[in-house]
Structure 1
Amino acid sequence: MTLTDFLVVSDIASAINACRANDSFSPKKFFAMVGLSKKSPPEIEKIFMILDQDKSGYIEQDELQLFLQNFSKGARPLTTAETRAFLLAGDKDGNGKIGWDGWVTRQRGSSPKVLQPCHVFIKR
């Protein structure tokens, strides 16, 4: 299973292009551009599982730094500042990792009814 099983290739390319410059990555904008904000919870869970490269149940800092490369092999790594901000946004218990609960929270943003990728994270 790959991200392109859930997301449109042209949307991914546009989102990667929009954050090509260092320190230009915005999780909220990126997830909206790739269409994650319109995905169902089961689809978002499958995407989380793809992004959890080591299958630990969490997305750790090293996985976040290479986050964009999950979407496109030629994408740049996130900067230290981008990685830290992304982690802080999803690390709901301060353990230095994003679990499923934090991912879901990140996806939903302020509205619990509408999923907005990268606004909610849920731990298992």
Structure 2
Amino acid sequence: MSDLYTSTVTSIGADAPSMFEAGVVILFAEPVPPALADVSVVHSPSGELARDIQAGDTISIGVAEYTVVRLGDVASNNLRELGHVVLYVDAGDQKLLPGAIHVDGPSPAPQSGARITVRGA
């Protein structure tokens, strides 16, 4: 497995924990639009996404590791351009928005200072 993308969580929006309870993690790189700051996990990338994300890749946030099940058509591009993607944890057959990624893994609880890593399968 090779690292495709790395970033560090710089802050957690005040309303983000209620999103985590619903299995949703909204990632947004600095600078985050004010309208999304309260619900986002704000992060600072250390480089660009090396290739498009694919099913079977893994996304780690701190010690939690998620396996990519499927992704929307613009998810990789949004991560590349804006540092923005929405992770739906154990979403089942829920319809995905174009910028979302369905992942399997533990209940999310990102913390400030955690490392975000996307690894190729």
Q: TM-score, normalised by structure 1?
A: 0.35
Higher RCO (C-alpha 8 Å, min separation 6) = 2
Q: TM-score, normalised by structure 2?
A: 0.35
Question: More helix per residue: 1 or 2?
Answer: 1
